[in-house]
Amino acid sequence: NFVMKMYSVPYTLDDLKKEFQAFFHFSFEQGSFLERFIKAYQGIKRITKFGVSSCGHLLQNKELIRYLEESKF
């Protein structure tokens, strides 16, 4: 048994889609290995910020934290 909870995040689905589209777009660009590596690193870094932001936002969600405490999670 489990309960699925949804929570808001500080960005839109459109923001996330745009970042992934940009990441995949440059994946097919020409350039030296170093140029492509740097672009990939920067893209992954930007996408990772979405996940970190979501986690931080989740931990500040008082209602969800209260629910977890009350359910003895």
Mean pLDDT of 3-7: 86
Residue-wise pLDDT tens digits, 11-41? 999 999 999 998 888 878 888 999 989 988 9
Q: Following DSSP, what letter does each residue of 5-71 receive, concatenated?
A: -----SS-HHHHHHHHHHHHHHHT----HHHHHHHHHHHHHHHHHHHHHHHHHHHT-HHHHHHHHHT
Q: Do the domain assignments include residue 67?
A: yes
Number of domains in the chain: 1
Asked if the model's pLDDT at residue 53 lies above 80, the reply is yes
Q: Which residues constitute the domain of residue 67?
A: 34-72
Q: Do the domain assignments include residue 28?
A: no
Query: Residue 63's pLDDT is what?
Result: 93
Q: Do the domain assignments include residue 51?
A: yes
